[in-house]
Every structure is written in C-alpha cells, then in structure tokens.
Amino acid sequence: MKKIQDLPPIFQSAIPILEKLSDAGYEAYFVGGSIRDLLLKRHIHDIDIASSAYPEEVKQLFPKTIDTGIKHGTVTVLDHCESYEITTFRTESGYQDFRRPDHVTFVRSLKEDLKRRDFTVNALAMDTQGSIVDLFNGLGDLQSKLIKAVGDPLERFHEDALRMMRAVRFMSQLQFDLDEQTKAAIEELHDLLPKISIERIRDEFVKMGTGPNSRRAFQVFLDTKLSEGVPHFKGKSELLAVYPQLKFEPNMESSLWAVIIILLKLPNDQIAKFMHDWKNSNIMTGKVEKIVELFDLLSDRSPTDYELFQAGKETLLNTIDVAQILGQPVNSEALVDRYVALPIKSSAELAVDGRFLIAAGIKPGPKLGQLLVQIKQKVIAGELENNAEAINAFIK
C-alpha cells in the first residue's frame, strides 16, 4: 500500500477532525481531487473529507456545524476558525435526466462511495497515516497520465453527461491523455451534453481552455463532437480546428473567450449575444468586447494615442496576450511604451472637470461635454499641457 510521509499542513490541520470521527467508531478519509493533487505535487486548494458517519451523527460529534448540503450528505464543521466539509459516504441512483442523481443513499462503505466518482485518479482516498486507498488503479493511471472513467464509461456518462466535459477539462489541467475506451464512450454519447445546464458546461469549458494542455484537450473536444453541443459551436468545427494549432495556451478567461470569438469570425454586434448565451457576466462580456475591438484595430493599423487611452491598460495587455496566442505579429513593447508615456491614463487625471469649465463661464449642456473631450484629446496628443492654467488659456 502506498503511504505518504509528512502530509502537508492543509491535511495535518484536519487530522483531529478525522480522529474524532474514528474515535467515535466511524470511518473517515481524505478523498477526491486533493489526493490526486498531492500525488502529482500540484497546488492543493481545498480538501474533502468523506465519512461513514451520517450527517446527523456528524452534527452530534462537533459543537459547531453548518448544514451546507445536508440532503447530499455534506456538513461543514467549524473548528478553530477553520472549516472542514465532511460528506457522508454515498451512492447515487436515478439519473433520469442524464444529470444529477434522483436520490443519494448514504452508505457505510468507502468502496461504494469511491465507485460513484468520475475518474480513477479522482477516486483515491487517504487515511490520517497517509496510506492511500486505491480500489480502481487510480495510482497506475496517475503514473500513466490517463483520464479513465471508473467502471463502464458508457454507463457513467449516461448517469451524468457533465462528466464528458470534466474528462477534457482534466486532460487539459493535468496534462493527461484520455483512455481510449473513455474517449469512445464520449464519441458515442456526446449528444447528451445539452442536457446539462450551460453554467456547468461553461465552468468546465473555461477550466479546459485555461489549463496548460488546452490545445490537446480542445482537439479531443472537437474529435468527440462534444463541441457540437455547446452554444454557437455547432457546425463550426472547421473554424475551431485552428485552436489546437495556436501558438500558446490561453491562461486567462478573457483571453480564451476573445480567441474563440476571433476564430469564429463573429461580427462585433454578435459578441454580446454569444457571451450571454454562454451565461457569462456583463463584466466579462464588456472585457471581451473591448479586447476583440482593439485586436481588430491592431490588425488593421497602429492605434492613435487617444485610442490607446480609451482601451486602457488591462485591455491593452489582454489584447497583446491574445495576439501572441494567435500568432499575430504585434509590436507589444512599442505599444506598452506608448501607453506608459501617455500624459494621462484616465479621465480622473485630467486637471479640469465639468465644474471647472462651468466656473470658467461655459454653459452646462452637450457643448460642455464636447469641449471636455476636445481638451482630453489635446492633452493626450501632447498639444495641451495638463494644468488648469494652460487649459484655461485654451478655453478662452
């Protein structure tokens, strides 16, 4: 049995919780992604605890708990300002609608709990001594860098079609290959994906797209036709086939969406609809629109100083990132130098405002707004100094 020496602090600090459960006669293990990430020496962002104790039993043992997802067996234990999620061993059944089980049944067996998990590398457990429980050769698949469904992949994707997206997401994030049988099952069942809510598909898509192996994962996403079941991708596989050939992997969400929109050759007035159909926020939509707009401009000509000012630093840097991912030549250093040299970077830095102009005798109204823009443009072009005196003289 594989045993980990010297558990990292994130596990250490939870050991008293697991010990309290085992002292009371229950089983308790660390489970899921944190074990996988520990073995791969990846950053561990949170740990999950699974136990044979039923939710009510967990609540009796610990003084401070929150019913986080009690119907699904999850109770949060608060201890010394830390919180720990404990989920009762469970099996799932039903899956009438190809997503989420109709019922979960609490069980006392770890094996049953591990069996319902998606991939072998996600079905590992570890006890407080660091001993790994590996019932489905997850360790072997970690070694061979393989994403492989637990049990019969056809059955598993039938139960929950989101797992097909999770397969390509983990391929990208972990830089793993996809087991052949698992891939064949996705090819067969890809058309179940639209049963899943767009939000959940989007979360997995973004993790795939911003992972370190997104180009290879994207190829599988296209080959298996999963891509045909997501908003705006149907019939677009020829345009999207460029993605696996990109120069670099996107590592920011906004860059990912901008790259996809550019590859799809989406007209500007359809970007917002595309983003909203993917259930993206207005903030993300606005960011992406600005990036694509500046990208188009840069593909055509050099921007004016005023256009650089209007784009702003974040959009400029993101657009340079997108151009590099797409292998589009841009003189990024010169652009950044020009941006840095702008006399003002935001309207707030202008030495005057509307109130100043009114005090200088300009009547409130559209004319005043236009004058303010004119002043801003002159300052940015270096034709007018950014101080009240110079601007006053210009108004007069």
160 vs 293, beta carbon nearer ligand ATP: 160
Which is nearer to Mg ion, 121 or 258 (by Cβ)? Answer: 121
Burial code (b: 16+ CB inside 10 Å, e: under 16) for 242-251 equals ebbebeebbe
Task: Determine which helix (DSSP H) or strand (DSSP E) holds 120, and give its type and residue range.
Answer: none
Could you tell which of Mg ion, ligand ATP, none binds residue 303, using a CB distance below 5 to 8 A set by kind?
none
Cα gap 246→215, rounded to integer Å: 7
Choose among Mg ion, ligand ATP, none what residue 148 binds, the Cβ cut-off being 5 to 8 Å by kind: none
Nearer to ligand ATP, 36 or 376 (CB): 36
Pick from 127, 160, 177, 249: which binds ligand ATP (CB under 6 A)?
160
Question: What is the bridge-based pairing of β-strands 74-79 and 82-88?
Answer: antiparallel
Contacts with 78 (C-beta within 8 Å, 6 or more apart), sequence order: 62, 64, 65, 66
Count of residues interacting with Mg ion (CB under 5 A): 1
Site string for ligand ATP, 43-72 (x = CB under 6 A): -----x------------------------
Identify which range of 158-166, 277-285, 304-312, 365-373 contacts ligand ATP by CB under 6 A.
158-166
Which of 152, 153, 146 is CA-nearest to residue 171?
A: 146
Distance between first and last Cα of the chain: 86
Which residue from 266, 265, 317 is spatially nearest to 291, judged by alpha carbons? 317
Rounded CA-CA distance 303/104 in Å is: 58
- Give me the 109-128 binding string for ligand ATP, x by CB under 6 A, dash otherwise: --------xx---xx-----
Q: Is 80 left (phi over 0), alpha (psi -120 to 50) or beta?
A: left
Note whether 153 binds ligand ATP by CB under 6 A: no
When the beta carbons of 117 and 183 are compared against ligand ATP, the nearer one is 117
Which CB, 124 or 375, lies closer to ligand ATP? 124
Q: How far is the CB of 117 from ligand ATP (least distance, A)?
A: 4
Residue 112 has which token pair? 């049953």
- State which residue, 203 or 228, has the beta carbon closest to ligand ATP: 203
Q: Kindly tell me which residue out of 32, 138, 211, 303 binds ligand ATP, with binding defined by CB under 6 A.
A: 32
Give the residue with the Cβ less far from Mg ion, 33 or 211.
33
Within 163-222, the residues that bind ligand ATP by CB under 6 A are 163
- Among left, alpha and beta (phi > 0; psi -120 to 50; other), residue 312 is left
In the complex, the smallest distance separating the C-beta of residue 43 from Mg ion, rounded to whole angstroms, is: 12
Residue 90 near ligand ATP by CB under 6 A: no
Burial (CB < 10 A; 0-12, 13-18, 19+), residue 190, is buried
Q: With CB cut-offs between 5 and 8 Å by kind, which of Mg ion, ligand ATP, none does residue 342 bind?
A: none
Tokens encoding 201: 């598909």
C-alpha 155: how far from its chain's center? 27
Q: Note whether 17 and 77 are within 8 A (CB).
A: yes
Q: Does 33 interact with Mg ion (rule: CB under 5 A)?
A: yes
Considering the complex, what minimum distance in angstroms separates the CB of residue 150 from ligand ATP? 8
Question: Interacting stretch for ligand ATP, rule CB under 6 A, among 157-165, 338-346, 348-356, 376-384?
Answer: 157-165
Q: Which is nearer to ligand ATP, 148 or 163 (CB)?
A: 163
Which residue, 165 or 357, has its beta carbon nearer to ligand ATP? 165
User: Which of 14, 28, 30, 33 is in the footprint of ligand ATP by CB under 6 A?
Assistant: 33
Number of residues near ligand ATP (by CB under 6 A): 10
Residue that is written with structure tokens 């670099």 in the block:
248
Nearest residue to 315 (alpha-carbon basis) of 341, 345, 343, 344: 345
Tell me how far CA of residue 268 lies from CA of 243, 275, 281, 296, in angstroms.
Answer: 20, 12, 17, 10
Q: Which residues of this chain interact with Mg ion, rule CB under 5 A?
A: 33
Chain positions contacting ligand ATP, by CB under 6 A: 32-33, 48, 117-118, 122-123, 160, 162-163
